[in-house]
Amino acid sequence: MFGFLGPNGAGKTTTMRMIQCVSPVSGGSLDVLGMDVASRQREIKSQMGVVPQENNLDGDFTVYENLLVYSRYFDIPKDEAERRVEELLDFVHLQEKKDVMTESLSGGMKRRLVLARALINRPRLLILDEPTVGLDPQARHLIWEKLRSLKKQGVTIVLTSHYLDEVEKLCDRLVVMDNGKILVEGSPAGVIEEFIGSNIIEAENNPQLLECLRERDANYEIIGDMVHIYPDNAMELSEYLLMECSLTKISARPATLEDVFLKLTGRSLRE
Amino acid sequence: MKLVDHFRIPSVSSRSYKVWQRNKDVFMKDIKLNFLPPFLEPILYLIALGFGLGKFVESIDGVPYAKFIAPALIAVSVMYASFFECSYSSYVRMYYQKTFDAIIATPLTIEDVIAGELMWGATRSMINATVMIPVIALFGLIDMKYSLLIIPFAFLGGLLFAAIGMCFTAVTPNIMSINYPVLLFITPMFLFSGTFFPLSALPVPIQYFAIAFLPLTHIVNVIRLLSFGVLSTSILFDVAWVLVVTAILLVLSINLMKKRLVV
């Protein structure tokens, strides 16, 4: 499972659309499943499943019909398609909703149906553009569980997300990108270790603390009224800060991808 | 996109049939409602205009007024069915329902999708004509000799207006703006294409304008001759005009939609 991270406008969706053979590749070359996107898009698309950022279920059809009509675009024979639709409805727990029109589904159900639809052709490659955006925790966890089981079945999954905990949990490798360029590449743990270290100490910003930190030659960053300290040895440093600088409000926690993300792409708002 | 690119022949595969089939399935869900307009409209128009207004109208070239307008009603229905299918309805599928986006994630290309939409638009025109012919025949206003030829011709005419509708869909900034071509192009055609009075009643320059630029004129001519049971050579000119313009506009509409959707 591979993750693309980056702020809004970084080029994630554009990259996804190029992989899907929808947007033209303006420079260089792009191979998907060993095939060139410019010349073999039908073959590529027949082996790929897509969960787009925006739900684009067919509002003119029921849940069941959505899957069956979609299967026709892949030339799946009808009896085989019917079997797969039943399987997929079980897989995403929508069997009870099969005759419901899609507009009356909840957000989580729609997302699950989009996932089921992306699996109708048994893809080797699954593209997910922010698969859990706007979902409640239950629905997110269900989607994650399904993605893990697909991964186990050997499906390659490419994912973009703003939920960094999601990427950290699911992805084996990731890139962080901004302005169409890749900033880092690696495993979640590797990237965190490389850019932040394993732990972070958060403390309230005051001159005394900064004095202490300068004395210790520590690596830190001021964020509003907070200070993020990136220590080599968290235990030792926090002990020092507590004892020597008589600070009371500090907390040490494991570093996350979110820290890497903000460090690399800055804290200014993106549109 | 350069001008020549607008007229490059797009590569369309037989998979566009799947898009046609999708639209047909949606149509079949409301089949009763969808069959009502082509069944009811000719009855209403024939009673009001043909037999009501027609009482005060002299026969036109020896043809009673109701018989004169009956084929025009088919022609107008051919125009409306495919134009509206490929303008408002296609726009809704493209922009609001994102149906096209979902389909192009499968082995179908955008060219396939638009071709399927155009074929479906033409099919709606053909369905309308097919329903209307027996209704009008019940009034005794159609000569059955060549009348069944109207059905395939309705498909061709449907393709023409489907392509016109799709061109507007490709360039319209929003759904409300489709009202402009309806008001400035479709409605004048409804009135001034030899539908409810013969073209010859108009000033000569306008007659030429109608023949050159109002596609409905040719559709009305052909359907009227077929429904009168007359095969004259002038039909060839009308059919040729429709074939050429349809071919050009089909290509243009697919390329324009591609330009709109591939970003």
User: pLDDT-derived band of residue B2, with 50, 70 and 90 as boundaries?
Assistant: confident
User: pLDDT-derived band of residue A88, with 50, 70 and 90 as boundaries?
Assistant: very high
- Chain A residues within an 8 Å CB radius of B106: 45-46, 70, 73-74, 121
* Residue B2 belongs to a domain: no
Taking 70 as the threshold, does the pLDDT of residue A270 lie above it? no
pLDDT of residue A271: 56
Does CATH number 3.40.50.300 belong to domain A2-191? yes
pLDDT of residue B251: 97
B262 reaches A (C-beta below 8 A): yes
- Tell me which DSSP letter residue B59 carries: P
Nearest CA in chain A to B95: A56
* Residue B3 belongs to a domain: no
Mean pLDDT of B226-247: 95
The number of beta carbons lying within 10 Å of the beta carbon of residue B137 is: 15
Q: Give residue-wise pLDDT tens across range B186-230.
A: 999 999 999 999 999 999 999 999 999 999 999 999 999 999 999
| Percentage of chain B exceeding pLDDT 90 | 92
Q: Give residue-wise pLDDT tens across range B73-112.
A: 999 999 999 999 999 999 999 999 999 999 999 999 999 9
ipTM, 2 decimals?
0.90
* Residue B8 belongs to a domain: no
Domain count, chain B: 1
Taking 90 as the threshold, does the pLDDT of residue A211 lie above it? no
Nearest to B257 by CA among B159, B156, B161, B172: B172
Question: Distance (Å, rounded) from C-alpha B87 to C-alpha B35?
Answer: 20
**A–B CB contacts, 8 A cutoff, strictly below:** 60
Distance from CA of A199 to the nearest CA of B (A): 42
User: pLDDT-derived band of residue B263, with 50, 70 and 90 as boundaries?
Assistant: confident
CA distances from B91 to A89, B56, B86, B231 (A): 30, 42, 7, 39
Taking 60 as the threshold, does the pLDDT of residue A22 lie above it? yes
pLDDT of residue A246: 67
* Residue B95 belongs to a domain: yes
User: pLDDT-derived band of residue A197, with 50, 70 and 90 as boundaries?
Assistant: confident
pLDDT of residue B58: 87
- Chain A residues within an 8 Å CB radius of B109: 41-42
- Chain A residues within an 8 Å CB radius of B94: none
A59 reaches B (C-beta below 8 A): yes
* Residue B194 belongs to a domain: yes
Question: Taking CB atoms and an 8 Å limit, are A57 and B22 in contact across chains?
Answer: no
Domains A2-191 and A199-254 share a fold: no
Question: Distance (Å, rounded) from C-alpha B224 to C-alpha B77?
Answer: 14
* Residue B5 belongs to a domain: no
**Selected residue of B1, B26, B85, B106 to mutate for chain A interface (largest A Cβ count, 10 A):** B106
Nearest Cβ partner of A58 from B13, B99, B106?
B99
Question: Taking CB atoms and an 8 Å limit, are B25 and A61 in contact across chains?
Answer: yes
CB distance B80 to B158 below 8 Å: no
* Residue B255 belongs to a domain: yes
Distance from CA of A140 to the nearest CA of B (A): 22
B234 reaches A (C-beta below 8 A): no
**Selected residue of A26, A35, A39, A58 to mutate for chain B interface (largest B Cβ count, 10 A):** A58
* Residue B192 belongs to a domain: yes
CB distance A168 to A256 below 8 Å: yes
Q: Give residue-wise pLDDT tens across range A31-70.
A: 999 999 888 999 999 999 999 988 999 999 999 999 999 9
Query: What kind of fold does domain A199-254 have according to CATH?
Result: Alpha-Beta Plaits (3.30.70)
Domain of residue B215, residue span = 15-261
User: pLDDT-derived band of residue A203, with 50, 70 and 90 as boundaries?
Assistant: confident
- Chain B residues within an 8 Å CB radius of A24: 262
Hey, which of A22-31, A32-41, B235-244 has the most confident mean pLDDT? B235-244
Domain range list for chain A: 2-191, 199-254
